[in-house]
Chain A
Amino acid sequence: MQAALDIAAQGFHAYLVEKSPSIGGRMAALDKTFPTLDCSACILTPKLSEVSRHPNITLYTYTDIESVIGKEGDFKVRIIKRARYVDAKKCSGCGSCADECPVEVPNEFDEDLGFRKATYMPFPQATPNIYTIDMNTCIRCKRCLKACERGAIDLDMQDERIDLEVGAIIIATGYRLFDVSAYPRLGYSQIPDVINAMEYERLINAAGPTHGHLIRLSDGRIPQSIGFVQCVGARDVNKDVPYCSRVCCMYGIKNAVMAKEHHPNAEVTVYYADIRAFGKGFEEFYEMARTRFGVKFLRGRVAEVTRDHKTQRLHCKVEDTETAKPIEAVHDLIVLSPGIQPPIGIEELVRKLGITTRNDGYVDVSHYYFGPVETKVPGVFVCGCADGPKDIPDSVTAGSAAAMRASIVLARGGRKK
C-alpha cells in the first residue's frame, strides 16, 4: 500500500493487486499497535481511503496473478479477477444482501471466532467498500437478489482475465502466522482457553466477535489471571523456524498491557525467552508495561499447559530460568504468541516471477546489505514480510524503499502505466 501510494505520488500509475476481498492486510485485524497503543484501524483506514481514491492507483482486489512475462521496464502480467458475484460499480456496501442471507459461516477475519454471512464484507472499513459472495458456502437461494435495491448481485458472474503492462513489480504479500498447534504440549486446539495472539486481537477488538469483551471461550467468564507465552514457533530449529519473528516480543507486551487495560485487577504474566525491545520506543514501552501496568515478566519457555478438570483453570509448567526453579503457575486464559512465516502461496508466486527464496522460505534479495528491497530479477522488488519478518514501521519503510527503486525503472522510461 505504501509502495503504491509513493509510486502514484510521483505521477506514475500503480496497479495494486490483492488476493483477499479488501486491502489492509493483517493490520486491519489488529486491535492496538505497539509501542504507542494507537488503534490499528484508526491509523490504517485513512491510508485505505487514500489508496482507493488516488487517481493514479487502480485497485484489483479478490485477484490472483496468473502469469508474468517480460523483463525490467516491460513486464506483461496476467491477472485473474475472481468473480465476487457483486457488481463493484453498483454495490454501495449497504449490507441489505447480508441481512437477508441465511447462510452463516465462521468468519476468517475474526479468526473463525465469530460468524459472517455467505455474502460479506470482511470488516466495516473494507476497501473497496463492496460485498463479496463466497460461492463455496452460498446456497443460491437468491434472497440477496431480491434484497439488493441496486441490482448489483450477479450470481452468474465469471472470473475475468486482465493483461497489465508494467515497468516494475513489487511483492508485498505479507506473512502467515505460525500454526501453534504444532506444539501439542501447549494445549492449543485441545483446550479452548488456550488461544493464539491473533484470536486475542479479535477478542479485545470492539469490532470483534465479543465486541471487545475479553472473555474465556470455554465458559464466557472474565479471566482473572492471564499468561502470555512468547516465542511459540520462533527461534526453534526443531520446528524449522530458527529465526526471530521480530514482532512477538512487542506485540506480546502490547497484548499484556491491553489485558491490564481491559481487566485492571487481573494478574498478567508474560513468559519470555528474552525481550527484544530493539525499535524506537520499544524499551520504554516494555518498562512502562512492567512499572505502570504491573505486568509480570518471567524468563522461561513454557513446557506444558494442562487443564484442571475440577477448577477448569490452566496449569502452566515452566522453569524460571532466573532462579533455575521449576514452577507451575495457574491461569484462566493463556495466549500463545506465534512467530511468523512466509505467506501461503509464496512458492507459486516466486516461481511465476522467476525469483528465488532462501531456505527459510522468504523471498531472496539481491544483496544482503545494499539490495534489501531488490530481488535477483531486475525490475522485481520486494517489501513487507515477504522477504522477512517486519513490524509496521519497518514494513512502511521497506514499502517506500521498494517504491523508490521501482520508480527509478519507470523514470528511465519503463512503461508509464
Chain B
Amino acid sequence: MKEFVLYTGCTTPVRVPAYEASVRAVLEKLDVQLIDMKDANCCGAQYLESVNRKAFAAMSGRILALAERYDRDILAICGACSGSLKAVKVMLDRDRVMRAEVNDLLAEEGLEYTGVTEVKHLLQVFHEDIGYDAIRNAIVKPYSPDTRLAAHYGCHVTRPYDIVHVDDPENPTIIDKIIEIAGATPVQYSGKTRCCGGPMLAMDPHVAAKIGLDKIRNIRDENADGIVTACSFCDIQLTQVQYEEGVDPATRIPVLTLPQFLGPALGIDKNALGIYLNKISPDKIFAAVSGVS
C-alpha cells in the first residue's frame, strides 16, 4: 500500500474542506494511505514568494523538512502548494548557500532539509501511483457518456514542467483521462490551459473576474455539464466568478474537484465527499450515476 504524508495547505481546510474530505475518501478507496502532517505552516506561495525569496524558501523548506520526519513523500492537493514545494525543493537542491541559510533557520526547531522527500500533486498520485487500470477496476457506478465535463488543470499544477513533472503543460490529459475512465465524456474547449484568474484577485478583482468569466464562457460554449478541477484556488475562483454581476444564475456550471467527481463512481457516499458544501449544486451530474442519491 502506498503511503503519503498529506499536506493540506491553509486554503483547502478553511475554504474547500470538501476537497480535503473527498481526497481522503477517494484515496482510501484506492488503497493509498495518508498520514496527516502535524504542525505544518503555509507554503508561502505567490504573495510571500514575490516579496522575499528566502522567507519563501524557509516556509516551504520547513514543510519539506517536516515530511522527512515522517519518512514519506508529500502529497499536496492544492496547485499553489504543490507548485511552491516543488519549486523550493529544486531551489534547495541546487543552491547550497540557500539550503544552508534555510537549514540554519530550521535548526531552531531541530529540523533539517536533506532532500530525501519528493513532492507529488494529487494528479501524479492518480496517474503514477494508483494508475488508470486500478481506477478503472474500482469503478462501480459509471457515469453516462452523456455527461460532458470540462477539465481545468490549474497553472501551478502543470507549470513549469521542468520543475513539477506532472503532465504536458500544453496538452494535459490526466483529468480528461479520469473523466473518461469514470464513464463521462471529457470536452475540449478554447483556452483550456489558461489561468483561472484567481491569483489576480488581490491586485485587480476586475481583471480576475474577466479572465475567469472568459474561461466559463468558453466552457459553456461546449455545452459542458460541469467543470472538474485539481486545485483549491481554481475551484474557488471558477465557482465565485459565476456569482459576478450579470451572470444569469440559470447558466451557472457546477464546479467539482476531481475526487468529488470520481468518488460517486467508486461507490462513495455523496456526503462523505462534502458535495452539499458545493455552492453550485452538481446534482444534475450525479443524477447520471446510477443509484447515487
Interface of A toward B, CB cutoff 8 Å = 182-185, 187, 190, 304, 306-307, 309
Contacts and interface: CB of A to CB of B under 8 A. Distances in A.
Contacts, number: 17
Contacts of A190: 188
Which interface residue of B190, B191, B218 has the most chain A CB atoms within 10 A? B190
A182 B171 CA distance: 8
B190 A307 contact: yes
A304 B191 CA distance: 8
Interface string B43-77: 00000000000000000000000000000000000
B221 interface: yes
A32 to B, nearest CB: 33
Given A182-B170, A184-B192, A187-B190, 12 more contacts: A182-B171, A183-B170, A184-B171, A184-B193, A185-B170, A185-B193, A190-B188, A306-B190, A306-B191, A306-B218, A307-B190, A309-B221
Interface in B147-184: 170-171
A188 B171 CA distance: 12
Q: For this complex, into which size category does the number of interface residues on chain B fall?
A: under 10
A182 B191 CA distance: 15
B226 to A, nearest CB: 19
A183 B190 CA distance: 13
A183 B192 CA distance: 13
Contacts of A304: 191
8 contacts: A182-B170, A184-B192, A184-B193, A185-B170, A187-B190, A190-B188, A306-B190, A306-B191
A183 B170 CA distance: 7
Nearest to B170: A184
Which interface residue of A190, A304, A309 has the most chain B CB atoms within 10 A? A309
A238 to B, nearest CB: 9
A187 B192 CA distance: 11
A234 B171 CA distance: 19
A115 B221 CA distance: 32
Which interface residue of A183, A184, A190 has the most chain B CB atoms within 10 A? A184
Sort A-B residue pairs by CB-CB distance and give the 10 closest, nearest first.
Answer: A306-B190, A309-B221, A184-B171, A184-B170, A190-B188, A306-B191, A185-B170, A307-B190, A183-B170, A304-B191
Interface string B114-136: 00000000000000000000000
Nearest to B191: A306
Contacts of A307: 190
A187 B188 CA distance: 11
B120 to A, nearest CB: 24
Nearest to A304: B191
B219 to A, nearest CB: 11
A4 B152 CA distance: 55
B253 to A, nearest CB: 15
Contacts of B221: 309
Contacts of B188: 190
Nearest to B161: A238
Which interface residue of B170, B188, B192 has the most chain A CB atoms within 10 A? B170
A304 B192 CA distance: 11
A185 B170 CA distance: 7
B256 to A, nearest CB: 23
